[in-house]
Amino acid sequence: MSASVDVMTTHDKSTMPWGLWLRQIRAILSLELQKNFLSRRSILIYLIALLPLFPLLVLALLQPPGNEWRDFSNYGKVYAVLYHGFILRTVVFFGCAWIFMNLFRGELVDRSLHYYFLSAVRREVLVVGKYLSGLVTSMVMFTGTTVIAMLLLYVPFYSPSVRYFTAGAGFAHLLTYAGITMLACVGYGAFFLVVGLFVRNPIIPALLLYGWEWLNFLLPPLLKKISVVHYLNSLMPVPLSSVISEGPLAVIAEPTPAWIAIPSMLLVTVLVLVLAAYRTRHMEIHYGSE
């Protein structure tokens, strides 16, 4: 079956019907959010988001022996390692891969994408609506994981934790980690959206990107900048290099300032979404080949 109809609105082509497009984006966003949170595919997202919380909950209830677990000053470094190695590079990465790849690829598998393509909605509006739905879903899920994980880690130290979050750097660090998670959802989400549009089997490019992100510390400074994790690491409130050694083969590169890192990621995201819109604009559906 083939569907390549893109019905134009009755407005004059020389005008931009922003009001209509915004209403359509809201409608698509509402519909897609229901799918993202309530469909069978969402079960895996909930499991991924909860994955870091189970060991932290056990740790909070059953304090392990050892003086290092009783030293409150170490917990900022402990969370930095947990966040960088587990939450950011695994939970957020694979969670975004599952959410954003399925925005279009899942519709193709379910043989339902043609309903969107046959409706009076521009393909660009469809891309924006679907991307925003994935962004809201990933931000709610993984920012919640980031915040709850940090709070669970500090639960056993109630009195010093209250002072740390009210009078110390705790609250600022919490907001920074939450902001990094949101920015990761923006960058990874755009990439995986495009992968789901261009590649029939998106698992391979996802694994290639995963390897590229993990080997980022071995890359020369110029190549480091062609990765999402480099810009995210530059924003870390506790630099990972101050916590653990990356080994003798690691290539040291100056972190990118926040005023460059954040706009750079947002600009690349916009360019990737333009590519996604171009792809959907020239996309035809052949369910038989899926």
pLDDT one-digit tens code per residue, 32-41: 999 999 988 8
- Structural domain includes residue 6: no
Q: Which residues contact 194 (CB under 8 A, 6 or more apart)?
A: 272, 275, 276, 279
Q: Which residues contact 200 (CB under 8 A, 6 or more apart)?
A: 290
- Structural domain includes residue 138: yes
Average pLDDT in the chain: 85
Q: What is the pLDDT, as a whole number, of residue 117?
A: 87
Tell me how far apart the alpha carbons of residues 175 and 109 are, in angstroms, rounded to a whole number: 38
Tell me how far apart the alpha carbons of residues 181 and 194 are, in angstroms, rounded to a whole number: 20
Number of domains in the chain: 1
* Domain span holding position 116: 18-289
Tell me how far apart the alpha carbons of residues 268 and 69 are, in angstroms, rounded to a whole number: 41
The pLDDT of residue 142 is above 80: yes
| 228 HSE (CA, 13 A, CB side) | 27
Q: Among 70-84, 109-123, 240-254, 255-269, where is mean pLDDT lowest? A: 240-254
Q: What is the pLDDT, as a whole number, of residue 130?
A: 96
- Structural domain includes residue 8: no
Closest to 177 (Cα-Cα) out of 201, 135, 148: 148
- Structural domain includes residue 9: no
Q: What is the pLDDT, as a whole number, of residue 238?
A: 87
Q: What is the pLDDT, as a whole number, of residue 256?
A: 85
The backbone torsions φ and ψ at residue 226, rounded to the nearest 5 degrees and listed phi first, read -95, 55
Structure tokens at 122: 């521009």
- Structural domain includes residue 211: yes
Average pLDDT over residues 111-138: 92
Structure tokens at 230: 């480099």
pLDDT one-digit tens code per residue, 61-106: 776 555 555 677 788 888 999 999 899 999 999 999 999 999 998 8
The pLDDT of residue 11 is above 80: no
Q: What is the pLDDT, as a whole number, of residue 221?
A: 76
- CA distance readout (Å), 25 to 10, 110, 136: 18, 22, 13
- Structural domain includes residue 57: yes
Q: What is the pLDDT, as a whole number, of residue 167?
A: 87
Q: What is the pLDDT, as a whole number, of residue 10?
A: 41
- Structural domain includes residue 10: no
Q: What is the pTM of this model?
A: 0.88
- Structural domain includes residue 1: no
Q: Among 105-119, 140-154, 184-198, 236-250, where is mean pLDDT lowest? A: 236-250
Higher pLDDT, 88 or 201: 88
Tell me how far apart the alpha carbons of residues 255 and 80 are, in angstroms, rounded to a whole number: 16
Q: What is the pLDDT, as a whole number, of residue 5?
A: 42
Q: Which residues contact 134 (CB under 8 A, 6 or more apart)?
A: 32, 36, 96, 99, 100, 103, 189, 193
SS (H, E, C) 198-255: HCCCCHHHHHHHHHHHHHHHHCCHHHHCCCHHHHHHCCCCCCHHHCCCCCCCCCCCCC
Higher pLDDT, 156 or 7: 156
Q: What is the pLDDT, as a whole number, of residue 66?
A: 56
